[in-house]
Structure 1
Amino acid sequence: MVRRVVYESPGTPADVLRVQSGGEPASPGSGQLLVRVTTFPIHPGDLMAIESADANALRVAGVEATGIVEAVGAGVVKPGVDVGSRVTVFLHPGAWSEYLTVPSEFAVPVPDGVGTDVAAMMLVNPLTVVMLRRAVEATGAAGYNGVFLQSAAGSSVGRLMTAAAEHHGMALVNLVRTDEGADRLKHSFPATPVVATSRPNWPHDVRTLVAGRPLTAALDPVGGRLAGDLLGLLSPGGTLITYGALAKQPIALHAATLLGNALTVRGVTINRWVATTSPEQRDWDVTTAVAIAEALGNAFVVAGRYPVADIAAAADHAVRPGKTGTVLVEFD
């Protein structure tokens, strides 16, 4: 019997997700793999999809999971992929299933030095970092004495972005909500300044750290009032790069903020990356994401680990304020 994490209607993930059992694993067809999933991550985007589903229909949740190849269909010729190989399945709707029959191009081999925890987070978050770094570089914030900001810096993507910025010598100021979160992030990344937005005059603290250098980009997965505050900190011609919508409120923005400073608001998502990036660029970006997993494994933090039977508790933990890292769920 195959277990799957499903939902039948939109709503709060902890309320609507359940484990369904039934059927047997499907044999792979031509060009396909049968993968036995061991672990999957809960990303903010997964939860947003559950909350905003547009119809009442049974769906299997998730887009990323890691596991073992159980069978290989005819015509599959892919280095590192054979029965017994470890792979991470990426951008496959319904990935939170104990067995997946997927096209081989959806499966990325896991390098020998990458553990199961990192393998479960190997693609979505690092690919997001690849996209964000490319967007930051396009603004001129990288190099030429430029600085960029990022909010939610204690998140999984935020920590990876910090590690990448330090690795490549990019000047960054991190933002987190609380002093406690700032202390945790400083412990992991002592070379990168961090400001707590709970402080009453935190924008002044940011300006002091920037010290007059051009601040031409800000990365933000939150939205709402915070995004408006970030726009107010940008130098003329700067860009707010938004890649999430954790806040329920719309971005607070007065037209004068844009008109007076020629600012830009730009959205970045994995789905748009898939839709607009050439196959060659996607292959290169996936290779880069795997290299990030190999080189920066210590930046991949597990916030909590749950058996699939406790999916509601796992989903609740994934949205807990102050969470550091990614919640993982295991098929035991």
Structure 2
Amino acid sequence: MNRRVVYTRGGSPANVLTVIEEPEPAAPQTGQVLVRVTAFPIHPGDLQAVEAYPGDSGQPVPAGVEATGVVEAVGPGTPVAPGVEPGARVTVFPHPGAWSQWITAASRAVVAVPAGVSDEVAAQMLVNPITAVMLRREAEAHASIGYDGVLLQTAAGSSVGRLLTAVSLAHDISLVNVVRSERGAAELRNRFPDVPVATTEHEGWADDVRGAADGRPVSVALDPIGGKLAESLVDLLTPGGTLICYGQMAAEPISLPASTLLHKSLTLRGMTVGHWMSDTSLDRQASDVAAAKLIAMAAKDQFDVAGTYGLGDLAEAVEHAQRPGKVGTVLIRPW
């Protein structure tokens, strides 16, 4: 049997996600690769998709988009990426329904795991690094980034935030990080001693950001939270600056007076890895996947695991994934 995580309606993930049993998958067809999953991550975006699912489908909706495992079989005549063959370790993304013991994936979504990369890193090898690469590219679209402009990011202690910090350092991008607590700030300073960190538990955190910028323009802000925090970021941006939102952790909307946008000539953008899946050219996707693999090899110590669970502990794993202040990604080993 194959055990798979599904939901039939939107709502609190801990309440609506469930594990079902179904027959083992058949042999893969042309264009497909059968993978026995060894681990998969619980990303914030996975849980947001469950919460936002409209209505009641009446039919099981498979959960998750990323997993790592071992190739069991390749469909006849199927072109595959280098290193993808029976017995090889691979990561699969994007694959709706990746939270399963077995997945039959489109061959173009299957990527060989580099030697020396652990299962724990391989399970996170694509979504978060690709998000970091995508955000860096969008930030550098602003003419001042990489020159005199400062890049500001919130939720800097998150998995994506730590990877983006490592990527920014590698590309000589001036960065100021923002986190929620002084404990989180101390942890980031230990990892990246040359990158200034401000904490929103300090009432004067916006002035701390200005001080860290040291007179340079805060040209781009990256934010997965939204709400009141995003409004504060707009105040910090220099005229002509850009706010890029890539998440919606806050419950309240972003409320901005039109005069702020008009007088500062600001740009507001929304980005998700979902847009990358649907709107990015295949050549660009291949380039980003290659960059993600390099990040996985070069920054292994930034792929923290917050906890590892079995499928029988799904609700506990989801609760941990949503826990404030956690460091790293929660993984599930489905066997």
Q: What TM-score results when the alignment is normalised by the length of structure 2?
A: 0.97
Aligned to 2:66: 64
| Cα distance in structure 1, aligned partners of 2:241 and 2:215 | 14
Q: Residue deviations 1:139-177, cap 9 Å, x none?
A: 134222211100000000000001111122111000000
Matched, 1:33 2:33: yes
Matched, 1:100 2:98: no
Quick one: which of 203, 207, 221 aligns to 1:204? Answer: 207
Q: Residue deviations 1:182-213, cap 9 Å, x none?
A: 01111111111101011111101111111110
Q: Is the 8 A contact 1:141 1:215 kept in 2?
A: no
- Secondary structure of the residue aligned to 2:141 is helix
Aligned to 2:47: 47
Q: Which amino acid aligns with 2:171?
A: H
Q: Is the 8 A contact 1:141 1:217 kept in 2?
A: no
Aligned to 1:223: 226
Matched, 1:129 2:132: yes
Matched, 1:300 2:329: no
Q: CA deviation at 1:19?
A: 1.3
Q: Is the 8 A contact 1:176 1:194 kept in 2?
A: yes
Q: Residue deviations 1:70-117, cap 9 Å, x none?
A: 111101232201110111110111110110111111101101121101
Query: In the comparison of the two structures, how many residue pairs are matched?
Result: 332
Q: Which amino acid aligns with 2:8?
A: E
> How do 1:287-326 residues align onto structure 2 when only pairs under 5 Å count?
287-326=290-329
> How do 1:212-291 residues align onto structure 2 when only pairs under 5 Å count?
212-291=215-294
Aligned to 2:175: 172
Q: Which amino acid aligns with 2:328?
A: G
Q: Is the 8 A contact 2:145 2:219 kept in 1?
A: no
Superposition misfits of 4+ residues, deviation over 4 angstroms: none
Which sections of structure 1, spanning at least 5 residues, go unmatched? none
| Cα distance in structure 2, aligned partners of 1:215 and 1:152 | 17
- Secondary structure of the residue aligned to 1:8 is strand
Q: Which amino acid aligns with 2:257?
A: H
Aligned to 1:160: 163
> How do 1:176-187 residues align onto structure 2 when only pairs under 5 Å count?
176-187=179-190
- Overall identity of the aligned pairs, in %: 55
Aligned to 1:144: 147
- Secondary structure of the residue aligned to 1:169 is coil
| Cα distance in structure 2, aligned partners of 1:306 and 1:25 | 24
Q: Which amino acid aligns with 2:39?
A: T
Q: CA deviation at 1:252?
A: 2.5
Matched, 1:111 2:110: no
Q: What TM-score results when the alignment is normalised by the length of structure 1?
A: 0.98
| Cα distance in structure 1, aligned partners of 2:165 and 2:317 | 26
What is the CA RMSD across the aligned residues, in angstroms? Answer: 1.0
Q: CA deviation at 1:281?
A: 1.2
Q: Which amino acid aligns with 1:157?
A: V
Q: Is the 8 A contact 1:303 1:326 kept in 2?
A: yes
Q: Is the 8 A contact 2:39 2:123 kept in 1?
A: yes
Q: Residue deviations 1:277-322, cap 9 Å, x none?
A: 2111111111111111111111111111111111111111111111
| Cα distance in structure 2, aligned partners of 1:126 and 1:111 | 15
Matched, 1:19 2:19: yes
Which sections of structure 2, spanning at least 5 residues, go unmatched? none
- Secondary structure of the residue aligned to 2:136 is helix
| Cα distance in structure 1, aligned partners of 2:326 and 2:23 | 36
- Secondary structure of the residue aligned to 2:9 is coil
- Secondary structure of the residue aligned to 1:144 is coil
Q: Is the 8 A contact 1:177 1:197 kept in 2?
A: yes
Q: Residue deviations 1:253-279, cap 9 Å, x none?
A: 121211110111011111212222211
